[in-house]
Amino acid sequence: MEDPASTANQADFAQASSALAYPRPPEVAEFAQALIHTRQTVLPRRLGEPGPGALELQTILKAAAAAPDHHRLMPWRFVLVPAVARARLGEAFASALAERDPSASAEQIAQAREKAERAPLLMLAIVRGRDEDGEIPPAERLVSAGCAIQNMLLMAHALGYGAALTSGKAMNSTPLRALFNLGENEQALCFVSVGTTIKTKPIPLRPDIGRYVSELTI
């Protein structure tokens, strides 16, 4: 029997390749440029309802699977935090703060707890730094995870949503690691938040190419 996942992949591929047939019209590059350069971080406190619907969520999550992935290890995973689990995540944030700062005030603890309630769609990005494939080092796995995350950010942006990556001191805490059941080779990278942009800010100035590109001199 044909694997339904592979049939779905073929359908995605057929759709994508017909949209990008050769010769590729200049609008394709213009569109990609517009999409990439108009994406900006919209922090979770500026993300409101509605979040992505069920089909849109699938489209966003599927974008991760198109990331470059050496040896197809899939060294990353994402855990969605639905509304019913937000209070539990808030507890983990609060415990993490109390653990690292026993003098934290009740107000600070409440603020830490409240962070779990922001943004309609919230997920944790996790990378697996090591496993039985010793050929692929942690740095490559991290790059793959970053590509998967950026694919999702761009897809969320294409669908009209704002999105952000956030981390913080709780990321490597015992309560958070326990809540997400992280394996000993796994690391929580960041939260990905998606929702409707409540308030926009100007797109930040991006660095000139000359600041991050040089030519090898011999």
Ligand X SMILES: Cc1cc2nc3c(=O)[nH]c(=O)nc-3n(C[C@H](O)[C@H](O)[C@H](O)COP(=O)(O)O)c2cc1C
For CA atoms 130, 172, 62, 160, the dihedral sign is: negative
Name residues whose C-beta falls within 8 Å of residue 135's C-beta, 6 or more positions apart in sequence.
71
Q: Among candidates 20, 26, 178, which has minimal Cα distance to 88?
A: 178
Of all helices (H) and strands (E), which one includes residue 186? strand 186-197
Q: Which of residues 151-180 bind ligand X (CB under 6 A)?
A: 164-168
| Cβ distance to ligand X smaller for residue 40 or 59 | 40
| Token pair recorded at residue 81 | 């935090």
> What mask of x and - would describe binding to ligand X in positions 40 to 79, judged by CB under 6 A?
xx-x------------------------------------
**C-alpha span between 65 and 48 (Å, rounded):** 26
User: Taking the complex as a whole, how short is the minimal distance between the CB of residue 19 and ligand X, in angstroms?
Assistant: 26
The answer to whether 123 contacts ligand X (rule: CB under 6 A) is: no
In eight-state DSSP terms, residue 22 is: S
Q: Is 89 in the site for ligand X (CB under 6 A)?
A: no
Do the Cβ atoms of 115 and 44 come closer than 8 Å? Answer: yes
Strand partners, 41: 163
Q: Is 190 in the site for ligand X (CB under 6 A)?
A: yes
- CB of 154: closest distance to ligand X in angstroms? 11
Minimal distance, residue 21 CB to ligand X, in Å = 32
Please confirm whether the linkage preceding 44 is cis (ω < 30° from 0).
no
* By CB under 6 A, residue 204 contacts ligand X: yes
Q: How far is the CB of 125 from ligand X (least distance, A)?
A: 8
Q: Which is nearer to ligand X, 179 or 188 (CB)?
A: 188
**Smaller CB distance to ligand X: residue 19 or 205?**
205
| Positions in the binding site for ligand X (CB under 6 A) | 40-41, 43, 164-168, 189-190, 204
